[in-house]
Amino acid sequence: MAATDPPRSHRWRTRLGFLALAAPVLTGAHAAMPIVSDTPPRPAATIITLPDPATDGALSLEETLARRRSVRSFAAAPLTLGQVSQLLWAAQGSTYRGERRTAPSAGALYPLELYLAVGSVQGLTPGLYHYRQGSHALQQTLEGDLRDSLAVAAVSQSWVARAPAILVITAVQRRTAAKYGSRAERYVAIEVGCAGENVYLQATSLGLGTTMVGAFDDERVHELLALPADHRPMALMPLGTPR
């Protein structure tokens, strides 16, 4: 023990005192507290601020709807940071003074968390990035290209790995269940669909393509991405230029 360390007995008294102070929070009182954030803190990492999203485009909504297709074949062209910014904003970006988002949410509880598995995006090294919705930024959580592993987890759909990036939509269901109980499962699924359709339409307006993949091993994807325990993977959306 270093000369500056407090005696062991003192350290244990300090820990026990902390537990005593925390007891009201760790018991039933915790269930009644409003949820501020379910996302556990991550180790410090470089934050990549994304370009501001555009709020107008060349295609009308009607033309975008007419052109929308599910794309499973991608060119080798990398995505730009501007395209990534626009796609993430379309899925869960801030609107109306930052208090609302581009996709509707039951009770405005917003259970969705987005991750981007990057293989070929200008300005980003390969790895996994968490979308920080409030600041419209990305934080890298894992290094390395995960696309091949995700394709294997997606029942070996090899085309998934050929997209420059893969959007992973996850959900923290208890955010919605805190208000809606057992209905949360349905409401969260509806929200995933709304966010996914936004991505489809935004991709189409940018000349890109995607499709929503639901066939994958949930536990394997969770493990591969080292997701927080309560972040349940709901959908994969490979993103890229149609070939």
The strand pairing partners of 137, in sequence order, are 49, 132
* Cβ 142 vs Cβ 195: under 8 Å: no
β-pairing verdict for 47-49 and 209-210: unpaired
| CA–CA dist 101, 91 (Å, integer) | 8
Q: Residue range 208-233: average pLDDT?
A: 98
* 137-157 confidence digits (pLDDT tens): 999 999 999 999 999 999 999
* 155-213 confidence digits (pLDDT tens): 999 999 999 999 999 999 999 999 999 999 999 999 999 999 999 999 999 999 999 99
Provide, rounded to the nearest whole percent, the portion of the chain with pLDDT above 90: 79
What superfamily in CATH does domain 47-240 come from?
Answer: NADH Oxidase (3.40.109.10)
Range 157-160, long-range pairs (CB < 8 A, 24+ positions): 157/213, 157/215, 159/72, 159/73, 159/74, 159/238, 160/213, 160/236, 160/238
Residue of 231, 204, 217 lying closest to 70 (CA atoms): 204
Please give the pLDDT value at position 75.
97
* 86-143 confidence digits (pLDDT tens): 999 999 999 987 789 999 999 999 999 999 999 999 999 999 999 999 999 999 999 9
Please give the pLDDT value at position 44.
52
H/E run at residue 199: helix 184-205
Whose tokens are 């074949």? That residue is 73
**3-state DSSP percent of the chain in helix, strand and coil, to 5:** 40, 20, 35
- The token duo for 102 is 């581009």
* Cβ 213 vs Cβ 160: under 8 Å: yes
